[in-house]
Amino acid sequence: MAEKLPASLEKLNTEEYLLNMGPQHPSTHGVLRIILKLDGEVIKDVVPVMGYIHRGMEKMFENRKYDQIIPFTDRTDYLSAVNNNFAYVIGVEKLLGVVVPERAEYLRVILAELNRIMSHLLWLSAYGMDVGAFTPLLYIFREREEIIAMFELITGNRLTHNAFRLGGFKYDVPKTFFEKLEKFISHFADNLDEYETLLINNVIFKSRTVGVGVITKALALSYGVSGPSLRGSDIKMDVRRDTPYSAYSKFVFEIPTGKNGDTWDRCEVRMNEMRQSLSILQQAMQGFPQGDIMAKIPKIIKPPAGEVYTAVEGPRGEVGFYIISDGTEKPYRVKMRVPSFSNLSALKDMTVGFKIADVVAIMGSLDLVIPEIDR
Amino acid sequence: MTPVEILEKIKTKFPGVASTEAFGILNMETEQNKLRPLLVFLRDELNFDFMNFMTGVDRPTENIIEVVYQLFSFTTKASIVIRVKLDRTKPEIETVSDIYRTAEWHEREAAEMFGIVFLNHPDPRILLLPENFKGQPLKKDFRHPNMTPLPEVK
Amino acid sequence: MLKYIKDIITGAITLLEGMAITFKYMFQKPITLQYPEQKAQMTTRFRGRLVMPVDEEKGDNRCTACNICVKACPNYSIAVERLTDETGKPKPKAASFTYNMGTCMFCNLCVEVCPFSAIVMSEEYELAVYDRKSLIKDLVAEKYKLKGRKGKWWISKFKDEEQV
Amino acid sequence: MTAFMQFLKDLLYDSGKAFGLIYDGGHKIWAGFNLPPLTLDIIFLLIAAACAAAFIAINALFIIWFERKISARMQLRRGPNRVGIFGIFQTVADTIKLLIKEDITPKAVDKLAFFLGPLLVMTSTFMVFLVMPFGKGLIAADLNIGVIYILAVTGLTVLGLLCAGWGSNNKYSLIGGMRSAAQIVSYEIPNVLVMLTIVLLSGSMKLGDIIAAQPTVGYVWMQPVAFIIFLIASNAEINRGPFDLPEAESELVSGFITEYSGMKFAFFFLAEYTNLFIAGALGAVLFLGGWTGPVLPPFMWFMIKSYFVVFLLMWIRWTFPRIRVDHLMEFAWKVLIPIALLNLVVTAFVIKFH
Amino acid sequence: MEYGMLLAFLVFALIFVVGGVAANWLLMPHKPNATKNSTYECGVEPISDANIRYNIRFYVYALMYVVFAVEAVFLFPWAVVFKEIPGLMPLFEAVLFILILVLALAYAWKKGALKWD
């Protein structure tokens, strides 16, 4: 359609039109609005509109004490509450100069990896829904429910755990937790294989994902895409390996990567990541040390003036907290670096030229959590 | 690469940059007009290929707004923080969104939250705030009629 | 041409594998919990809502109106008023303990800081109400009785759990 | 008494004979009253149509419940189990709910097209039952162009969906309607070719003759490829399963039924499930020998076979992800149609040289 | 009688639908408001009218359908009498006819009418 049509035929040309996808749409996973410019089914332009659930988290942080901020971090990315806690807590501990006991570090790793599996499972089930397969969701929710029950044992909450405290944990682990964990590890790998056969290796699924939403290495890096979405583009990026935090340097694990940076690669990376998390869980459970669960920290937390940026590898990518302390009880400024924010910014380069159905598939493969973007 | 090595390399090209070190990360300050060449140098010569984030910090007591860029290199696993101090009454800075594309959205956010003007920005619309919102919420002196003061507890 | 046929066959095999899985699950027991009749068993640490249980030995709650929980609450959902005697001197007793469930995040911070174990998170989870006002509760007036276990079990509920 | 027993037995096993008796008896009585025989014929016609309507309504209610139960079992759920035993009256309750719900007609819609949508869809679905052989002699009209009639009437559905899609004046509906039109016409062709193969084998377009011509096991053993193509193509034609693009929930919200509510929505719903049954029934008639079978009454056999095919379609639906629209079209034109054509030619050759 | 049945079915189908909608209209509450009567587009105001000149892609399929369906309909009479006519003549005639269909398909395939973009 490149050549100019004569004026008399101009009216016969297909019309490009704008379509709102969201804020209330079944597959935007939250209150995200995407304005699509379409020619028939083919996408010509994508404009994400955000901020529908902007809560001013960063402003709120400035008005809360250091230990009060932890429950708020749960609520930015509600699917990986523990990893958000993690990033914030190690930041403040760095400022305070607190050394966390090993037992607490191990428990943190266990919780973080469980949380990663939990988040990926939800992604897998939601992704099944996105591409039109409803059934995997209900199978996957069995396993997810098991993990939630484990979290409930330790923290008492099912989704927004508020699990970590500055310096470790408030309460020690109940014995039943490890029994459950062992049971979970024993059957999870098999179930994962089953889901892979049911969904990921399905020929229809492959036809919808292979070669769709390709993002090149250089572009992904430039966009600051992180986590599985970046690893899908064949970059061995993992905060757990690049800048090891907590006890991660003690565990052996691989970093799965994709080859082409398409949607299927991102899916496969997540599936393999769950297997790696499972192996970390096994190692952590075997080497779980005795000792204290809480470091000695002052009653009133006043970190010395300074600033720190700490990041952890969340399920969606690099979750970072940039904390500036001015020596008072409350932080001077907290900036959250959220993975979905950068991942979503690359959406336009991934989707243009594909179809409506692909937008859903691509957005699903980025595993967006909207409250995290809006903060 | 250790922070010292990075600093030495930078000093060969940009003599006289102020820098400190905190938690093993080089923390350097530069002027507004040197920022873009510095970032291009860091990206192309020192392999800082990943921008973690970019944000602003409001410091009303010193009458400045800081712009902070954090970079990371996947090849050397090193991080670096670059900050630029802007005049708080008229904060203006050149965009870096063509050097790191992720900066485009981060700059849009910083623009609406701190009122920083990013010159030559490709898409200077608001990002998170409602369209008719007035004020820059992350400035320390921001007040809004809907804000309720927190109760004082003895 | 050969690839065309091969693609069709391998594709059909993956489809049949999927169908075998769904068929297998058809004969498994449903995992549904029939909600209003069957209810989920909550763990000891479950954070339902904040309650101020009546200590049966004391015949009253254990609150001393020390305001530590108020300071700890990130959302300012708690307000405590101290009881005063006739002369206006404050007594170590709460006259009212206003708890706003609407703004509560169920983060457990208030329970953790309470030096007297006066408050605890209960196991209730059906907390929805029709009227927003009824989310604001006065825990002192409520005189909540923790069900199920005896005495002051909640004070040591985490210590009683079997540890690794 | 024995005559009455014989009549009941006929009614069950050879309905044609029993209806013949009723028809003749009715006319004798009618002639006794000196009334013109045409009036009685009209009454009989209306009764037959009313029976079909009642069957459609009850069957749709059952099939919806059946699907909900089957999908629930496949997903480790229980499915409806509150209204009536095993929740069998759940769909009745849902229908009543839809009946007393407000039927919203948005301001921007083209009112005529908006109403024509469900009307055309439901009418075309209804009309198919004219030639549906439920049992021996249990058929409203065994037209001698039966197969073509079915193809023609189901083809009307496209118009209804296009009306709904265009008339709603909603972009999601528009995309859904367009998709469904392209999809249904594309999959009509493999379906036509498959039916052509069956007609080739049986030598008649009458559904009754097709059933009679089949060996005891049905054509499915002679034409397994045709059966698979039929399953896929009819699944696509009724917009279900991995081919539910016109109403693809995660992409188009609800496609062409986005703006519909109340009874108009119910008619789309009803038509979808009735079409599902029609697909099952056609599969039973064309490939599984229709109502033939030992011991049980023909009607029972027909229903069992139909529901078996319906179950296959449900199984497919609840297992697979949704196909993308371009793959869908390519699959029809590049895979199904060549195979169906090849199958047709091979069948013709085998018939001639066998 | 048979086509009378067809008419009866048609009449009944129309009664069925119109009656259903009418019953619904009688039973339902009538409380329209502006929000309810607006077009749904994910909770925001629709950007533009939906009656647009749509992509040609879909109409191409309809055209191809006409070609194939009409030819297939011509084949039905042949299929009915195929067994009864002796000799190989009907077979070869039909194969020739189908070959033309295949050629049409191959042409469309080659021309890219089956490709989406």
DSSP states along D72-113: HHHTT-----SSSGGGTTHHHHHHHHHHTS-----TTS-HHH
In this prediction, residue A175 has a pLDDT band, given cuts at 50, 70 and 90, of: confident
Side chain identity at residue C48, one-letter code: G
pLDDT in tens, C87-104: 878 778 888 888 888 888
B90 Cβ under 8 Å from any chain C Cβ = no
Within 8 A of D166 by CB-CB distance, chain E residues are 51
The answer to whether the complex's ipTM is over 0.90 is: no
Q: Of C111, C40, C44, C154, give the one whose Cα is nearest residue A177.
A: C44
Where in chain A are the domains?
Answer: 17-373
Contact assignment for B127 to A221 by CB distance below 8 Å = no
Q: Where does chain D have alpha helices with state H?
A: 2-13, 15-32, 37-74, 90-99, 111-128, 146-167, 171-202, 207-213, 224-237, 249-252, 262-287, 298-317, 325-330, 337-353
pLDDT in tens, A185-219: 888 888 888 888 888 888 888 888 888 888 888 88
Within 8 A of D320 by CB-CB distance, chain A residues are 132-133, 202, 204
Contact assignment for C67 to B154 by CB distance below 8 Å = yes
Question: What separation in angstroms does the CA of D120 have from each of A274, D54, D154, D279?
Answer: 50, 19, 10, 18
| pLDDT of the residue at C148 | 60
Number of domains in chain C: 2
- For residues D156 and D141, the answer to whether their CB atoms sit within 8 Å is no
Tell me the C-alpha distance between A230 and A266, whole Å: 8
Examine the pLDDT at C12 and tell me if it is beyond 60: yes
In this prediction, residue A13 has a pLDDT band, given cuts at 50, 70 and 90, of: low
Within 8 A of A324 by CB-CB distance, chain B residues are 57
Tell me the C-alpha distance between E89 and D12, whole Å: 45
**Residues C10 and C79 reside in one and the same domain:** no
Element (H, E) at B81: strand B79-87
Examine the pLDDT at D278 and tell me if it is beyond 70: yes
**Residues C105 and C76 reside in one and the same domain:** yes
Among C6, C26, C28, C37, the residue to mutate for chain D (most D Cβ within 10 A): C26
Other Cβ atoms closer than 10 A to D332: 25
Number of domains in chain B: 1
Examine the pLDDT at C161 and tell me if it is beyond 70: no
> Out of A13-17, A61-65, A167-171, D114-118, which region has the weakest mean confidence (pLDDT)?
A13-17
Q: What is the CA radius of gyration of chain B?
A: 17
Examine the pLDDT at B24 and tell me if it is beyond 50: yes
Contact assignment for E44 to A21 by CB distance below 8 Å = no
Query: Chains near A, with 3+ CB pairs < 8 A?
Result: B, C, D, E
Contact assignment for D242 to A132 by CB distance below 8 Å = yes
Tell me the C-alpha distance between C96 and C140, whole Å: 6
- For residues D19 and D137, the answer to whether their CB atoms sit within 8 Å is yes
Separate counts of helices (H) and strands (E) for chain E: 3, 0
In this prediction, residue A7 has a pLDDT band, given cuts at 50, 70 and 90, of: low
In this prediction, residue E33 has a pLDDT band, given cuts at 50, 70 and 90, of: confident
Mean pLDDT of A215-233: 86
User: Two tokens at A300?
Assistant: 């009133």
| pLDDT of the residue at C35 | 84
Q: Which residue has the higher pLDDT, B149 or A143?
A: A143
Examine the pLDDT at D332 and tell me if it is beyond 60: yes
Examine the pLDDT at E58 and tell me if it is beyond 80: no
Q: What is the CA radius of gyration of chain A?
A: 22
Contact assignment for A42 to E117 by CB distance below 8 Å = yes
How far the first Cα of chain A sits from its last, in Å, is 42
User: Two tokens at E24?
Assistant: 């619904």
User: Two tokens at E117?
Assistant: 């973009």
Within 8 A of C112 by CB-CB distance, chain A residues are 170
The pairing of beta strand A17-21 with beta strand A33-39: antiparallel
Tell me the C-alpha distance between A355 and D323, whole Å: 12
Tell me the C-alpha distance between A148 and A151, whole Å: 5
Other Cβ atoms closer than 10 A to B69: 25
In this prediction, residue A4 has a pLDDT band, given cuts at 50, 70 and 90, of: low
Q: Which of E24, E54, E117 sits opposite D103 (nearest CB)?
A: E24
User: Can you say whether the dihedral through the CA atoms of D249, D252, D256, D261 is positive or negative?
Assistant: positive
* Domain boundaries, position C18: 1-31
| pLDDT of the residue at C158 | 62
Contact assignment for E58 to D179 by CB distance below 8 Å = yes
Contact assignment for A132 to D319 by CB distance below 8 Å = no
Contact assignment for C163 to A170 by CB distance below 8 Å = no
Q: Where does chain A have alpha helices with state H?
A: 57-62, 70-74, 81-96, 102-130, 135-155, 175-195, 203-209, 217-222, 228-231, 239-242, 263-286, 339-345, 347-351, 356-366, 370-374
Percent of chain D exceeding pLDDT 70 equals 99
What are the beta bridge partners of residue A320?
A311, A337
Give the A:C interface size as CB pairs under 8 Å.
88
Percent of chain C exceeding pLDDT 70 equals 89
Tell me the C-alpha distance between D70 and D307, whole Å: 12
Q: Which of A63, A342, A374 sits opposite B102 (nearest CB)?
A: A342
- DSSP code of E40? P
- For residues A32 and A370, the answer to whether their CB atoms sit within 8 Å is yes
User: Two tokens at D5?
Assistant: 């027993």
The pairing of beta strand C90-100 with beta strand C78-84: antiparallel
C26 Cβ under 8 Å from any chain D Cβ = yes
Within 8 A of D118 by CB-CB distance, chain E residues are 17, 21
Q: Which of C15, C28, C30 sits opposite D320 (nearest CB)?
A: C15
CA dihedral A171, A176, A181, A186 (to 10 degrees): 170
Q: Which residue has the higher pLDDT, B14 or A118?
A: A118
Burial class (CB in 10 A: 0-12, 13-18, 19+), A351: buried
Q: Is C36 within the bounds of a domain? A: no
Contact assignment for B127 to A318 by CB distance below 8 Å = no
Q: Which residues contact E85 (CB under 8 A, 6 or more apart)?
A: none
* Domain boundaries, position B45: 3-119
E27 Cβ under 8 Å from any chain D Cβ = yes
| pLDDT of the residue at A12 | 61
- DSSP code of A165? B
Side chain identity at residue A81, one-letter code: A
Tell me the C-alpha distance between D152 and D144, whole Å: 14
Contact assignment for A341 to B23 by CB distance below 8 Å = no
Q: Which residues contact D207 (CB under 8 A, 6 or more apart)?
A: D131, D132, D133, D139, D142, D146, D147, D285, D290
pLDDT in tens, D101-136: 888 888 878 888 888 888 888 888 888 888 888 877
Within 8 A of B150 by CB-CB distance, chain C residues are 76
| pLDDT of the residue at A8 | 58
Q: Is B31 within the bounds of a domain? A: yes
Query: Chains near C, with 3+ CB pairs < 8 A?
Result: A, B, D
- For the beta sheet containing B79-87, the strands, ordered from the edge strand earlier in sequence to the opposite edge, are B18-22, B25-30, B79-87, B64-72, B50-59
D270-285 b/e (C-beta count within 10 Å ≥ 16 → b): bbbbbbbbbbbbbbbb
Question: What separation in angstroms does the CA of C127 have from each of A72, B82, C101?
Answer: 21, 49, 9
The pairing of beta strand B64-72 with beta strand B117-119: unpaired
Residue of D nearest to C15 (CA): D320
Contact assignment for D324 to A357 by CB distance below 8 Å = yes
In this prediction, residue C156 has a pLDDT band, given cuts at 50, 70 and 90, of: low
| pLDDT of the residue at C154 | 66
E67 Cβ under 8 Å from any chain D Cβ = no
In this prediction, residue D161 has a pLDDT band, given cuts at 50, 70 and 90, of: confident
| pLDDT of the residue at C152 | 61
Side chain identity at residue D229, one-letter code: I
Contact assignment for B74 to A237 by CB distance below 8 Å = yes
- Do C and E make contact, counting contact as 3+ CB pairs within 8 angstroms? no
Examine the pLDDT at B96 and tell me if it is beyond 60: yes
Among D250, D322, D327, the residue to mutate for chain A (most A Cβ within 10 A): D250
- The overall pTM is greater than 0.95: no
Mean pLDDT of A332-344: 88
The CA distance from C60 to the nearest CA of chain A, in Å, is 26
Mean pLDDT of B42-57: 85
Residue window 122-151, chain B: list those with CB within 8 Å of chain C.
Answer: 150-151
Other Cβ atoms closer than 10 A to C58: 9
Q: Which residue has the higher pLDDT, B55 or D42?
A: B55
| HEC per residue, chain C | CHHHHHHHHHHHHHHHHHHHHHHHHCCCCCCCCCCCCCCCCCCCCCCCCEECECECCCCECCCCCCCHHHHHCCCCCEEEEEEECCCCCEEEEEEEEEEECCCCCCCCHHHHHCCCCCCEECCCCCCCCCCHHHHEEEHHHHCECCCCCCCCHHHHHHHHCCEC
In this prediction, residue B128 has a pLDDT band, given cuts at 50, 70 and 90, of: confident
- For residues B27 and B34, the answer to whether their CB atoms sit within 8 Å is no
Tell me the C-alpha distance between D107 and A38, whole Å: 24
Tell me the C-alpha distance between A157 and A149, whole Å: 9
User: Two tokens at A121?
Assistant: 């499972």
Mean pLDDT for all residues in chain A: 84
C8 Cβ under 8 Å from any chain D Cβ = yes
Residue window 170-199, chain A: list those with CB within 8 Å of chain B.
Answer: none
What are the beta bridge partners of residue B70?
B53, B81
Q: Which of A156, A173, A194 sits opposite C108 (nearest CB)?
A: A156
- For residues D91 and D240, the answer to whether their CB atoms sit within 8 Å is no
Q: Which residue has the higher pLDDT, A287 or E35?
A: A287
Contact assignment for E47 to A12 by CB distance below 8 Å = no
Q: Where does B1-154 have alpha helices with state H?
A: 3-13, 35-44, 103-114
Q: Which of A138, A202, A359 sits opposite D321 (nearest CB)?
A: A202
- DSSP code of B64? E
| pLDDT of the residue at A2 | 44
Any idea which residue has 């396993």 for tokens?
A143
Instruction: Judge if the upstream peptide bond of residue A6 is cis by omega within 30 degrees of 0.
Output: no
The CA distance from D190 to the nearest CA of chain E, in Å, is 10
Mean pLDDT of D59-69: 88
Tell me the C-alpha distance between D70 and D75, whole Å: 9
D172-194 b/e (C-beta count within 10 Å ≥ 16 → b): bbbbbbbbbbbbbbbbbbbbbbb
Mean pLDDT of D222-237: 87
Within 8 A of A157 by CB-CB distance, chain C residues are 46-47, 106, 108
In this prediction, residue A288 has a pLDDT band, given cuts at 50, 70 and 90, of: confident
Within 8 A of B153 by CB-CB distance, chain C residues are 67, 70-71
Among D179, D345, D347, the residue to mutate for chain E (most E Cβ within 10 A): D345
Tell me the C-alpha distance between C14 and D301, whole Å: 33
Q: Which of A17, A25, A39 sits opposite E42 (nearest CB)?
A: A25
Burial class (CB in 10 A: 0-12, 13-18, 19+), A197: middle
Q: Of D325, D287, D331, give the one whose Cα is nearest residue D189.
A: D331
| pLDDT of the residue at A9 | 58
Mean pLDDT of D228-244: 85
The pairing of beta strand B79-87 with beta strand B25-30: parallel
| pLDDT of the residue at A1 | 39
**In terms of CATH architecture, what is A17-373?**
Orthogonal Bundle (1.10)
Contact assignment for E12 to D341 by CB distance below 8 Å = no
Percent of chain E exceeding pLDDT 70 equals 91
Among D76, D251, D258, the residue to mutate for chain A (most A Cβ within 10 A): D251
**Residues C19 and C75 reside in one and the same domain:** no
